[in-house]
Amino acid sequence: MSRRRKGKAVHGVLLLDKPAGPSSNQVLQQVRRLFEARKAGHTGTLDPFATGLLPICFGEASKTSAQLLDATKAYEAEALLGIATSTGDAEGETIIEAPVPDLTGGQIESILAGFCGDIEQVPPMFSALKHAGRPLYEWAREGVTIPREPRQVTIHALDLLSWEAPRLRFRVTCSKGTYVRTLAEDIATRLGTVGHLVALRRLQVGPFKADQMVTLKELEASAGSGALHRHLLPVDAGLVDWPAVQLDAEGVRAFRNGNPASLADTENSPQEGARVVVRDADAQVMGLGEMGIEMVQPRKVFVYGD
């Protein structure tokens, strides 16, 4: 007989304002302990020095995390020009120093505009990408450099926030897989110098924005007053662009068993092949599905439990 994992069956999405210092997994475990939750995971690592939006999915909400990993993200970043480090950020050792040209805001904005659209990035050695089963950062710490192929990413917007030499602040909206550390280094190169990232704050992940975040201190205060759960968003909060369908009684039974399910309303059903949020007659989310012809095929069935 399998043993049930310890903790409560908590379901929903929390938008944490991650502080600088701890790793994403360390703050995840702090939050999980506060909620006494059985299951929780985050939807995309932030470096220890970085701050800002870290969505945490509890329970069945974790079945939506893949969509958040693929989502567009936005950051505010600060680069220090004139110094390159081994890691591309302030945690590394200085490896190159170079003079910083006398730049105007207009010149910088012109360079930034050249990065918008589809670009190629070479992933940094200090990253979690794996080679021979080991993260690249482990190889880097041993002084080994692994050849990396360029990867295509998309920069949707790149705006200058301030320029007070040698510090450059910018905001970037980008696709998944974009390394802002690498972007800062590449910007510095285009500006005729070197640089590294000294601050990074994530402000958006898909539909989630910075004004929805909650800090660890706020969570701790809420835990003391018994009001923790007011910070949780619904399990499907990250899927606002997905259509929702409602099942009839027969469809509910079929979907729960992992079988194609009939809809309560077939006249206004999404087109075949569409990904959908599936709800029962009480509007509770039952899972995620894919549309067939007047039927929905289960892709992920939610089991809430006690």
User: pLDDT of 175-229, one tens digit each?
Assistant: 999 999 999 999 999 999 999 999 999 999 999 999 999 999 999 999 888 899 9
- What class, spelled out in words, does domain 244-301 have in CATH? mainly beta
Strand order in the sheet with 275-279: 244-246, 275-279, 285-291, 295-301, 261-262
- Whether 54 contacts 24, CB under 8 Å: yes
Q: What is the pLDDT of residues 66-111, one digit of tens each?
A: 888 889 999 999 999 999 999 999 989 999 999 999 999 999 999 9
Q: Is 280 a catalytic residue?
A: no
Domain at 12-70+208-231: CATH code = 3.30.2350.10
Domain at 73-205: CATH code = 3.30.2350.10
Q: What is the pLDDT of residues 217-244, one digit of tens each?
A: 999 999 888 899 999 999 999 999 999 9
Residue with token string 């000294």: 198
Q: What is the pLDDT of residues 283-300, one digit of tens each?
A: 999 999 999 988 999 999
- Whether 11 contacts 43, CB under 8 Å: no
All CATH 2.30.130.10 domain ranges of the chain, comma separated, are 244-301
Strands 73-81 and 195-205, bridge-based pairing: antiparallel
- Whether 152 contacts 159, CB under 8 Å: no
> Under DSSP, is residue 10 helix (H, G, I), strand (E, B) or coil?
coil
- Whether 241 contacts 275, CB under 8 Å: no
**How far apart (Å, rounded) are the C-alpha atoms in residues 36 and 38?**
7
Residue with token string 């309303």: 265
Residue 306 pLDDT greater than 70, yes or no: no
Residue 43 pLDDT greater than 80, yes or no: yes
Q: What is the pLDDT of residues 44-72, one digit of tens each?
A: 888 888 999 999 999 999 999 888 888 99
> Among candidates 152, 176, 204, which has minimal Cα distance to 69?
176
Q: Which listed residue (47, 89, 186, 236) is catalytic?
A: 47
The whole-number pLDDT of residue 246 equals 92
All CATH 3.30.2350.10 domain ranges of the chain, comma separated, are 12-70+208-231, 73-205
Token pair, residue 215, equals: 């800090």
The whole-number pLDDT of residue 2 equals 44
Helices 216-225 and 24-35 sit at what angle, rounded to 10 degrees?
10
Residue 88 DSSP one-character state: S
